[in-house]
Amino acid sequence: MFKTLVILVLLVLGTNLNADYKSGKKIFKQKCSSCHLPRISGEILKKNFYENNNTILNLGAPTVNMLAFFLIRGPEHIGDTSDPEMQKLEVADFMKDYLYKPNRKDSIIENKFLKFFITKKSMKGIVSEKEIDNIADFLVEYKKRRVVSVEKSMLKHMSTKELIQTAKKKNKIIIVEAMSKTCYYCKKMDKEVFSLPVVKNAISKNFIYVKVDIDKTKLPLGLNKRYKHMTPTFFTLNPDGKFMHMYPGAWTKDDFLLILKENLKK
């Protein structure tokens, strides 16, 4: 009996081990993205749902990061988070049942969000069971893979390790700017401060400067723990990557030059 059970489990695992993150990402984009938007930052989602009753974004379905959260780590999450491979199997099984026979009572989305979303139609005949296996792999791996891609996108694909190595080699202080493309004051500083030769030269001489769009990526080097959700915010770190100072808000040319000067003091 035991041997039979082991064989059955291995057969199930073997079937799903072919599930592929990249394929799942591609399938999700092709067949799910018309309803489920790409990642929207947690800060914006909180404002949209908690403060404005979904009137800012008017979402009719959860975003991809919302789906990944509620399926994998939410209050009604599927499977055992300590066993990712088994969790993928359980998530895939749940998704097959739910996508083919949608029932709001079975949803893993919390009611305070679910109430804003439209009732899902059956995906039977639109997405196959094999494709769902791949989508499950994509969603289970979503958070981990996304953080890795953030580090590789820094400084034209320079990794965090390479950033520190470069800072040490050149003995330069690291400046990380938490910014957003929708941030008025970030644009204002780009135009009125960072475009000035005196500022460009001051940064180039003694600093390595990194911009991080917090709507798309996670702050590196543990800075997310210190970040107070204000854009722009500037962090300085020594060449070893150790935190030095944090400067929330926008600054004039003279004030920013003083910030740079302050960080050069021994």
187-211 per-position pLDDT tens digit: 999 999 998 889 988 898 899 888 8
Residue 242 — pLDDT band, cuts 50, 70, 90? very high
CA gap 89, 49 in Å, rounded: 31
Residues 208 and 86 placed together within one structural domain of the fold: no
- CATH number for 249: 3.40.30.10
CB 81 within 8 A of CB 87: yes
Domain end residue (candidates: 99, 120, 151): 151
Residue 163, pLDDT score: 82
Q: What is the pLDDT of residue 266?
A: 61
Domain tally, the chain: 2
Residue 210 located in a structural domain: yes
Residue 232: cis peptide before it, omega within 30 degrees of 0: yes
- Residues 137, 175: one domain? no
Tell me, what CATH number does 95's domain have?
1.10.760
State the pLDDT confidence band at 82, using cuts at 50, 70 and 90: confident
Tokens of 44: 């914006």
* Spatial distance between the Cα atoms of 171 and 165, rounded to a whole number of angstroms: 10
Q: Is residue 246 part of a domain?
A: yes
Q: Is residue 2 part of a domain?
A: no
* pLDDT beyond 60 at 260: yes
**pLDDT surpasses 50 at 34:** yes
H/E element, 12: helix 2-16
Q: Within 13 Å, how many C-alpha atoms sit on residue 165's CB side?
A: 6
Q: State whether 242 and 164 are in the same domain.
A: yes
Residue 130 is encoded by which pair of tokens? 């094999």
Q: Do 120 and 218 reside in the same domain of the chain?
A: no
Crossing angle for the helix pair 84-100 and 2-16, to the nearest 10 degrees? 70
- Work out the pLDDT band at 119, boundaries 50, 70, 90: confident
Averaged pLDDT score across all residues of the chain: 84
Domain encompassing residue 33: 18-151
Say which residues have a Cβ less than 8 Å from residue 175's Cβ, sequence separation at least 6.
Answer: 203, 207, 208, 209, 210, 234, 235, 236
Determine, yes or no, domain membership for 10: no
Residues 111 and 205 occupy one common structural domain: no
Contact (Cβ atoms closer than 8 angstroms) between residue 155 and residue 163? yes
Give the residue from 151, 182, 199 where a domain finishes: 151
Tell the burial category of 128 from Cβ atoms under 10 Å away from its Cβ (0-12, 13-18, 19+).
middle
* Shared domain check, 43 and 77: yes
Residue 58 lies in a domain: yes
